[in-house]
Amino acid sequence: MSTASDDGRSHAPIPLARPAVGAREEELVLETLRSGQLSLGPRLGAFEGAFAARLGTEHTSAVSSGTAALHLSLRAAGVAAGDEVITTPLSFVASANAIVYEGARPVFCDIDRRTLNLDPQAAAAAVGPRTRGLLPVHIFGCPADLPALEEIAAARDLFVVEDACEALGAEHADGTPVGARGNLATFGFYPNKQLTTGEGGIVVCPDAATKALIDSERNQGRAPNMDWLDHDRLGYNYRLSELACALGLAQLERLDDLLAARRGLAAAYAERLGAADRPAALDGLELPCPDSGGDRRSPFAYVVQVPPASDRDAVIGALRARGIDSKPYLPAIHLMSFYRERFGHRDGELPVCEDVSRRSLALPFFPGLTDEQLERVCAALAEALAETPRAAATASTAP
């Protein structure tokens, strides 16, 4: 592995993420712009159909964001005020927020140390009289243990809503694409995702009736005949524009290449950071778990955990001083100020999540990251860890 030098600090900064868009995206967006129809036009249905075909499902409803997809999915599942929904604390905050939107309570359970997904045993133990459903997240593109979670749900008559916003292209052990098991499932298309529409998301619906409901609620509760004067239910402005759908169609055309690039980058990081001859400063660094049991990850981000005694935030600062963008991925939701104050959460409740959250950082990860840039990142990480003081006896005792 090469070693960064002081002149490496003068290199162009390397961002954490960057959308992979090109000539085809520009072509379809300009075509749509010139058509004069920028909302509720033919691109919407075309994008929904193409996405459904890609996943091997029939019914999808495109919306303005992954958060909107989660919100409408929970409404369709029947969540009501006073209900409880079991979910993971290691996620982007939207997965929990969408539960709160409907007056329900997120019940956070600890995570699996290896996959970082919701631990099925912890989820089963958390089921109570107010539990209405489960909301697992396929974190960083790693498939959650849906067979085990679905078994819990079936035994107690609970719904499952999948947050697959980071997992487009991932597969379960039986070959089923993540999001295509028949549950309500959501995907997000923010610029750092495997596929982007700028902003946007989609709900994978189990049947035509659910799609009709979500299609109406995303459009202010308007009736199917689009009559402006007939709004027969509460709705929202969660529409996805024609321009966004055009961008999505172009991305779908080259999705295989985009996914392959991400898998190649993840493999290159693992090879360099896990090499036998890696710098000693990298000892104790934990990498994303490899695929196992037939499940196949679709890498959304490359998230590592610094050694237990290291100061993660100091490492991030040292990386940024070298022009390498990095961020904590992810804060524990139950310890965010809103959730502490609203639901009374405190440090120490979920030790595995809290340890992982304290140690995790995301490295630059996007199609187009060059070999030279990747080498720079790895060398800078080794330097940052080497120069960051480690506490002698603060190793984690979390299970």
Answer whether residue 395 shows pLDDT above 70.
no
Q: pLDDT at position 230, please?
A: 76
Q: How confident is the model at residue 120 (pLDDT cuts 50, 70, 90)?
A: very high
Alpha-carbon gap, residue 348 to 307, rounded angstroms: 19
Answer whether residue 99 shows pLDDT above 60.
yes
Query: Domain 23-253, CATH 3.40.640.10 — does that match?
Result: yes
pLDDT digits (tens, 9 = 90+) for 28-54: 999 999 999 999 999 999 999 999 999
Confidence (pTM):
0.94
Q: pLDDT at position 231, please?
A: 83
Residue 227 vs residues 41, 218, 389: alpha-carbon distances, Å: 16, 15, 65
Catalytic residue (one of 59, 193, 222, 297):
193
| 109 token code pair | 């359970």
**What φ, ψ does residue 302 adopt, rounded to 5°?**
-110, 105
Q: How would you class 13 by CB atoms within 10 Å of its CB: exposed for 0-12, middle for 13-18, buried for 19 or more? A: exposed
Q: pLDDT at position 223, please?
A: 80
Per-chain mean pLDDT for the chain: 94
211 classed as catalytic: no
DSSP string over 66-81 = HHHHHHHHHHHHT--T
Residue 168 vs residues 57, 141, 177, 225, 324: alpha-carbon distances, Å: 14, 7, 8, 32, 26
**How many other C-beta atoms can be found within 10 angstroms of the C-beta atom of residue 18?**
15
pLDDT digits (tens, 9 = 90+) for 161-202: 999 999 999 999 999 999 999 999 999 999 999 999 999 999
In the chain, where are the structural domains located?
23-253, 255-387
Alpha-carbon gap, residue 189 to 201, rounded angstroms: 5
Q: pLDDT at position 390, please?
A: 78
Q: pLDDT at position 392, please?
A: 53
pLDDT digits (tens, 9 = 90+) for 242-256: 999 999 999 999 999
Would you say 367 and 261 are in contact if contact means Cβ atoms under 8 Å apart?
Answer: yes
pLDDT digits (tens, 9 = 90+) for 367-383: 999 999 999 999 999 99
Q: pLDDT at position 43, please?
A: 98
pLDDT digits (tens, 9 = 90+) for 300-324: 999 999 999 999 999 999 999 999 9
Which CATH superfamily hosts domain 255-387?
Aspartate Aminotransferase, domain 1 (3.90.1150.10)
Q: How confident is the model at residue 2 (pLDDT cuts 50, 70, 90)?
A: very low
Helix H or strand E encompassing 204 = strand 201-205
